[in-house]
Structure 1
Amino acid sequence: MPPGPSIVVLPQPPGLPEPLPEPDAQTLRLETVLGTLNDPLRLTIVRKLLLERAEFDHPCGWFGLDRPKSSLTHHFRALREAGVLRQRQYGLERRSEVRIDDLRERFPGLLELVAAWTPET
């Protein structure tokens, strides 16, 4: 089987704000993570962060999603509460990153499946 797309891993810069509340890595549950990733928009958000990120974390506007802000807030919160994303508050802006190390440790191969997924057009 040929290798899938490469997941972009960037080093954590110094001086980051503390993350918003999230579940501990040891308590992440596969059924919760999969249930959250069941939504194609959420899957798209995670895939884009895995494959296209240019900075350590990104604001909602970077994703280019044509959805109301309240809808996007809901999706990002669901991903954070499931333990898929880590979010930090920068003033009025929240920036997101995938919890790559935590998810790889708990669910080996899951992120590679997400990265290999092809969205319907």
Structure 2
Amino acid sequence: MSPRSSTTTPGRQLDHPAPADIRLEAVLHACADPMRLRILQALASDPATSCGKIGLVCSKSTASHHFRVLREAGVITQRYQGTAKVNELRRDDLDTIFPGLLDTLLASAAAEAERA
């Protein structure tokens, strides 16, 4: 396994899988939850967004769980900016490893939202 990369701010580190460690089953599992799909959609339209700006309707601990699942699967990166965590899709990595997957997931989520 490749070493894990991390985003650092003095005293604060978050582990992110290296591109070689991102697995399809982990990405699909992370994206299988409707709340996490909503996070993906929000980050696709606003690339560097703090957790609080996404407006999830759940407790703070549940939101933290969803962001952690996405980060550990390699779908997003998180970095501290002051006291906030800023989130970004790992679009370049995902498009290289799984061409078209992220666009397909986002299009499917949009179509599902229209049907509801």
When normalised by structure 2's length, the TM-score is 0.81
Larger RCO: Structure 1 or Structure 2 (Cα < 8 Å, ≥ 6 residues apart)? 1
C-alpha distance in 2, partners of 1:31/1:102?
16
CA RMSD after TM alignment: 1.5
Matching residue within 48, 55, 71 for 2:42: 48
1:6-25 mapped onto 2 (5 Å cutoff): 18=8, 20-25=14-19
| 1:65 CA drift (Å) | 1.3
Q: 1:116 aligns with which of 107, 111, 114?
A: 107
Q: Which has the higher strand share?
A: 2
Which of 73, 78, 83 aligns to 2:69? It is: 78
Q: After TM superposition, where is structure 1 displaced by more than 4 Å over at least 4 residues in a row? A: none
Q: Which structure carries more helix by proportion?
A: 2
Deviations 1:46-72 (A, max 9, x none): 12211x21xx41111211112110000
Task: Give per-residue Cα distances to partners, 1:79-111, cap 9 Å, x unaligned.
Answer: 000000000012221110000100000000111
Residue 23 of structure 1 aligns to which amino acid in structure 2?
A: P
Fraction of identical pairs, as percent: 42
Q: Distance in 1 between matches of 2:79 and 2:48?
A: 9
The number of residue pairs the alignment matches comes to 102
TM-score, with structure 1 as normaliser? 0.78
The alignment status of 1:58 with 2:58, answered yes or no, reads: no
Other-structure match for 2:3: none
Flag structure 2 segments of 5+ consecutive residues without an equivalent: 1-6
Give the unaligned 5+ runs of structure 1.
Answer: 1-16
